[in-house]
Amino acid sequence: MSENNPRIRIFCPVCSSRFIPEDGKVQEGSVVTCPVCGQMLEVEKTDDGWTGERRDRLSDEEIRDRVGEFARIRGYVFNEMKSEIIDGLLSKRDRFGDFYCPCRLEHVTEYQCPCKPTRAGDVERLGRCHCGLFWKG
Ligand SMILES: [Zn+2]
């Protein structure tokens, strides 16, 4: 099943945004990247509209793909701190159930990596994100 309706918006369960897929087309089961947070999503149609299921949910690959895609979309770069921060994210998942920012004490949706302040432009303003995972290129 596919549709060509350009008004279709896909819901991202990580950052709670709705976005129009790049080519304006959606096919059930296809994989798209959320342009806001970098999450890779398998497209599904539900009674409420189109949604994205987190690909490889909670796996090591999921967060590696997400931060890589987010950096690619924004033009950010990593440095030698990356592996330590990824380890911190994996540890947060093991202890608190999702990929929360390793440098914050609150385990809430808005601090899932990439956290809301980072999505809102902290790297442009400050040169880096709170943790030092993403850096201005
Ligand atoms: Zn998202």
What's the confidence (pLDDT) of residue 125? 97
Looking at the chain, the whole-number percentage of residues with pLDDT higher than 90 is 81
Question: What is the distance in A from the centroid of ligand 1 to the CA of 19?
Answer: 9
Ligand 1 center–CA 65 separation, angstroms: 12
Confidence (pLDDT) at 102? 96
- Which element (helix H / strand E) includes 87? helix 82-96
Q: What is the DSSP string of 54-79?
A: ETTTTSHHHHHHHHHHHHHHHTEE--
- Model confidence pLDDT, tens digit, residues 122-132: 999 999 999 99
Of 3.40.50.300, 3.40.50.970, 1.10.150.250, 3.90.460.10, the CATH number of 60-136 is 3.90.460.10
Q: What is the CA radius of gyration of the chain?
A: 15
User: What is the whole-number distance in angstroms between the Cα of residue 117 and the centre of ligand 1?
Assistant: 14
Give the distance (Å) from ligand 1 centre to CA of residue 135: 19
Model confidence pLDDT, tens digit, residues 79-121:
999 999 999 999 999 999 999 999 999 999 999 999 999 999 9
pLDDT, one tens digit per residue, over 2-20 is: 455 546 889 999 999 999 8
- Which residues are within 5 Å of ligand 1 (an ion), measured at CB? 12, 14-15, 34, 36-37, 39
26-32 own/partner pairs: CB under 8 Å, 24+ apart: 26/2, 26/50, 27/1, 27/2, 27/3, 28/1, 28/2, 31/55
